[in-house]
Chains A and B, each alone.
Chain A
Amino acid sequence: EAQVTQNPRYLITVTGKKLTVTCSQNMNHEYMSWYRQDPGLGLRQIYYSMNVEVTDKGDVPEGYKVSRKEKRNFPLILESPSPNQTSLYFCASSLLGTGVQPQHFGDGTRLSIL
């Protein structure tokens, strides 16, 4: 089954404790992206990647890191999480090609940082 898998689905942690949210897709998609969703703000793009070793900042990259060492994986790293990073996070992937291909989303990761 074609899917984007995020782990963990839920996490409660404390300020300053490094964490990684993993994202994996099995569709051989070149493009992957991370978003955060906050009430009243919709989804905002954090980072995206056009292919292996190619990443770039979205609208709200501060406090986050990403890496793309393999095509299927795109982890989101919070080196020193703070309470303002409490949010619902989504990973998405799509093919690249003519125009823009539909994005496929993971089921989301709810992070609470105390």
Chain B
Amino acid sequence: GIQVEQSPPDLILQEGANSTLRCNFSDSVNNLQWFHQNPWGQLINLFYIPSGTKQNGRLSATTVATERYSLLYISSSQTTDSGVYFCAVTLNGNQFYFGTGTSLTVIP
């Protein structure tokens, strides 16, 4: 299967700070998704981003498929951003491979 590595594994931020999360993958993929798992365990789809850049409010994501990485930017972080961020890739649209996540804690 495809290897997916996320960094950093843990991140603690002061409210209002910016951060960048990284996702590296070992093979060519036809799609990549970013998810947020909130402290209650719910998984929310943030971005579906095979290539290029997308923005949604304070969050944006960039995928450089040719170099096999994606970045998730969080600006002006809020306590509600706390949780675990996962990236997931797929080669064929059927089988998905998740990274081990970045655990983010935003302190007031």
A90 to B93, CA, bound (A): 18
Closest to B41 in A: A108
A43 to B99, CA, bound (A): 8
Q: Mark B12-45, 1 if CB is under 8 A from A, else 0.
A: 0000000000000000001101010000011111
Query: CB distance A41 to B41 under 8 Å?
Result: no
A18-26, A64-72, A74-82, A99-107 - the one binding chain B: A99-107
Which residues of chain A (3-62) have a CB below 8 Å from chain B?
31, 33, 35, 40-45, 48, 50, 56, 58-59
Query: CB distance B45 to A41 under 8 Å?
Result: no
Which residues of chain B (89-108) have a CB below 8 Å from chain A?
90, 93-101
Residues on the B chain within 8 Å of A105, using CB: 35, 42-45
Q: How many residues of B contact A (CB 8 A)?
A: 25
Query: CB distance A45 to B100 under 8 Å?
Result: no
A-B pairs with beta carbons under 8 Å apart, 15 shown: A35-B98, A40-B100, A42-B4, A48-B94, A56-B94, A92-B43, A99-B30, A99-B93, A100-B31, A100-B48, A100-B50, A100-B90, A100-B93, A102-B33, A108-B43
- What residues make up the interface of B, taking CB atoms closer than 8 Å to A? 1, 4, 30-31, 33, 35, 41-45, 48, 50, 86, 88, 90, 93-101
